[in-house]
Amino acid sequence: MIKLGAVPFLNVRPLVFPLEERLVRNDFELVYEVPSSLSELLFEKKVDLGLIPVAELLKRNYRVIPRISISSNGKVDSVILLSKKSIGEIETVAVDLRSQSSASLLRIILEIFNTANPTYIHRNPDDNFLDGVDAGMFIGNAGLRIRYSPPIGYEVIDLGDVWSKETGLPFVYAVYAVAEGVRLGENLGALEMAKVMGLKRLEKIAKISSEKINLSEDICYKYLTERIDYDLGDKEMEGIKAFRDLLSKVDSSIKSWDLKFYEK
């Protein structure tokens, strides 16, 4: 079996639902972890490939599965900043410990696009997340829920929307990366077919997921059809390169990097 790591978020469901249900023949054992932990599992080769944050990809020498990503072009709804202050006046911000690409995106938006210099406080996403800070960043299913039911007194800032307005490009949150030495064989085709089949079943996926994550079926369906993109084409590649270039200005660990695609 080939261990495939994924995150337990709604945006991933179209890519993995057909694999789980064996609608596509495959040899995958699915392992679910939050983005930060999944990155470590792949680095330690405890999974063979993983849908990892692009911020992690920029630091490692992984090969990438072509034509598949988790991305958005404009509003994303699930990567949001709740703020009591205008974005350029934020001094303290809570950041979800589980995040990597989104946390890096937040730094670009605050420090480069708005010339702010906040203190980042990394926390677990619990009921005390916003205590004593000006703002807090939420991701995944929690971000999606809060987007539609924000607490009183906070402005909701969609980070995907800010990125696309500033750059004119999509933002790529995650891609499939393959550990060194792993051979997927026919399972490469299974990943591609799962994407095709999953995108044909968005209504069913939205219905099943809505019950599990406590969101309406309409919100889930809108999210999957109008907010999340699953391609990795030229525009998405431009988005990754722009992200790398901007992130290198605030993160010295980001060096020159060339995307390497996995070849069967």
The structure tokens 């987007």 sit at 147
**Number of residues in the chain:** 264
| One domain, residues 162 and 91 | yes
| One domain, residues 52 and 84 | no
User: Please, which contacts does 108-111 make with residues 24 or more away whose CB atoms are closer than 8 Å?
Assistant: 108/163, 108/243, 108/246, 108/247, 108/250, 109/81, 109/159, 109/162, 109/163, 109/166, 111/250
| One domain, residues 111 and 162 | yes
Name the domain boundary from 167, 198, 233: 167
Determine the Cα–Cα distance for residues 35 and 6; give it in Å rounded to an integer: 8
Q: What would the pLDDT profile of 132-184 be if each residue is shown by its tens digit?
A: 999 999 999 999 999 999 999 999 999 999 999 999 999 999 999 999 899 99
* Chain mean pLDDT for the chain: 94
Q: Where are the alpha helices (DSSP H) in 90-216?
A: 101-107, 140-148, 159-167, 187-199, 202-213
Asked if residue 47 lies in contact with residue 41, where contact means CB atoms within 8 angstroms, the answer is: yes
Query: In Å, how far from its chain's centre is CA 143?
Result: 12
| One domain, residues 86 and 137 | yes
Q: What would the pLDDT profile of 9-46 be if each residue is shown by its tens digit?
A: 999 999 999 999 999 999 999 999 988 889 899 999 99
Q: Note the pLDDT of residue 56.
A: 87
Q: What would the pLDDT profile of 46-92 be if each residue is shown by its tens digit?
A: 999 999 999 888 888 789 999 999 999 999 999 999 999 999 999 99
| One domain, residues 152 and 198 | no
| One domain, residues 181 and 52 | yes
Q: What would the pLDDT profile of 179-204 be if each residue is shown by its tens digit?
A: 989 999 999 999 999 999 999 999 99
Q: What would the pLDDT profile of 216-262 be if each residue is shown by its tens digit?
A: 999 999 999 999 999 999 999 999 999 999 999 998 887 767 788 98
Residue 98's CATH number: 3.40.190.10
Cβ density class 131-140: b for 16+ within 10 Å, e for less: eebbbbbbbb
| One domain, residues 138 and 162 | yes
User: Please, which contacts does 197-202 make with residues 24 or more away whose CB atoms are closer than 8 Å?
Assistant: 197/18, 197/23, 197/24, 198/13, 198/14, 198/15, 198/16, 198/17, 198/18, 199/14, 199/230, 201/14, 201/17, 201/18, 202/14
Number of domains in the chain: 2
Name the domain boundary from 134, 150, 167: 167
Determine the Cα–Cα distance for residues 199 and 193; give it in Å rounded to an integer: 10
Q: Note the pLDDT of residue 263.
A: 79
Determine the Cα–Cα distance for residues 168 and 143; give it in Å rounded to an integer: 23
| One domain, residues 162 and 192 | no
Name the domain boundary from 167, 189, 218: 167
| One domain, residues 61 and 86 | no
The residues facing 2 across adjacent strands are 28
Percentage of the chain lying above the pLDDT 70 cut: 99
| One domain, residues 196 and 254 | yes
Q: Are strands 155-158 and 80-83 parallel, antiparallel or unpaired?
A: antiparallel
| One domain, residues 67 and 176 | yes
Q: Note the pLDDT of residue 256.
A: 67
Asked if residue 79 lies in contact with residue 170, where contact means CB atoms within 8 angstroms, the answer is: no
Q: Note the pLDDT of residue 209.
A: 96
Domain holding 139, by residue range, is 80-167
The token duo for 112 is 């480069």
Does residue 125 have a pLDDT over 90? Answer: no
Q: Note the pLDDT of residue 239.
A: 97
Q: Note the pLDDT of residue 127.
A: 78
| One domain, residues 65 and 184 | yes
